[in-house]
Structure 1
Amino acid sequence: MPSEHPPVMLVDGYNVIGMWRRLQEIRDLQGFDLARSQLTEEMVNFSAYHGYKTTLVFDAYIQATPARAEKITKNLRLYFTDHNETADTYIERQCGKYRRDPLRHLKRIIVVTSDRAQQLTAVGFGAEWLSAIALEQEVEATWRSVQHRQKPQKADTKNLLGNRIDGDTKAKLAQWRNRLN
């Protein structure tokens, strides 16, 4: 039965891109857009598998654009901060709302960042904290788990008729089969 209050995960997107080696390579070779897309794709699957309501937060600090949110799936949305607002500021504001929520004891909020000051702030608000590297490990473990579950099971050959009859009978059957051909 789905939880009435699924865990909320707030991810500092550029912090994660800067910490995951494969996303760093994509960013350096092909740009931030592709790195963001790859992180988004990985978080779609991870969030759906775990039932997290995840927000990937990206700084728009130096761009003169208003904040905007994009719903990707029912479990994942992207949030681009307002001009002069950092991802840290947005995440802190969300943690502050969580702390003031009278039902916070029924809820769980997880902040993903490797920024030490942000870690301490999130925990101070009562949120859980996960480093970018720990998230990467959890994403990989989830992927392996899904792959293992989807792997076709090998057929049990012990119960096949050919394995239950004696050698003489097998030889006679082979002779008959050869005569038919």
Structure 2
Amino acid sequence: MYSSITPLLLVDGYNIIGSWSSLKATRDRHGLEQARHELVETLINYTVHKGYKTRVVFDSQYQKTPSTIEHHSQHLSICFTAWTQTADTYIEKVCAAFFSRQETDHDRIIVATSDRDQYLTAMGYGAEWMSVDVLAKDIQSSRSQVKRKQQSNKRSRGRLLFNCLDTQSQEKLARWLS
């Protein structure tokens, strides 16, 4: 049974980029912007499939800018921290607000990182932790489930022209044939 409140997945963006070999290779060949883009694209469908609200958190990388949040979809947003704030401190504040019940939009918070200190902090505030390896495996599993479901839907429709028609056309054809 699902809760009516959506879980929040907080992703330590640069930690994931530095941990996944495919994203590290993209970062090294094409730069951080492309690696960030690939991470976000990877998370969009996963987020919808799992029923999460996802916030990918990136450090400001020494840019003297205020904190910003970009909404990429209904389910996924990106937070660039203010220049004096790290992704770790941002995630810690969200977890602390959740622990003190100031954060009431979510009944669960899951923190995806390989950072041991971040893991301990998140758990201490009552959030759940997901390692970068588990996140990668869960994303792959989610892709496989979606692919199987799509293939099943294609097979169930069959190869007959009748099955390719919309419902109204199918009804007209059935009346004509009877």
TM above 0.5, yes or no, is: yes
1:153 match: secondary structure: helix
Distance in 2 (CA, whole Å) between partners of 1:155 and 1:94 is 46
2:45 match: secondary structure: helix
Unaligned ranges ≥5, structure 2: 159-178
Q: CA deviation at 1:78?
A: 0.2
Q: Which amino acid aligns with 1:11?
A: V
Identity of aligned residues (%): 41
Could you tell me whether the CA contact under 8 Å between 1:63 and 1:83 is conserved in 2?
Answer: yes
Distance in 1 (CA, whole Å) between partners of 2:73 and 2:26 is 23
Q: CA deviation at 1:153?
A: 2.2
The 5 A counterparts of 1:1-181 are: 3-101=3-101, 107-151=107-151, 152-153=154-155
Distance in 2 (CA, whole Å) between partners of 1:77 and 1:130 is 19
Query: What CA deviation, in whole Å up to 9, does each residue of 1:79-104 have, x standing for no partner?
Result: 00001110000000000000011786
- Length-normalised TM-score, structure 1: 0.80
Distance in 2 (CA, whole Å) between partners of 1:146 and 1:48 is 11
Could you tell me whether the CA contact under 8 Å between 1:10 and 1:54 is conserved in 2?
Answer: yes
Distance in 1 (CA, whole Å) between partners of 2:74 and 2:157 is 37
Could you tell me whether the CA contact under 8 Å between 1:7 and 1:53 is conserved in 2?
Answer: yes
RMSD, matched Cα: 2.0
Distance 1:61 1:147, change over 3 A: same
Distance in 2 (CA, whole Å) between partners of 1:134 and 1:36 is 19
1:54 match: secondary structure: strand
Distance in 2 (CA, whole Å) between partners of 1:120 and 1:29 is 33
1:78 match: secondary structure: strand
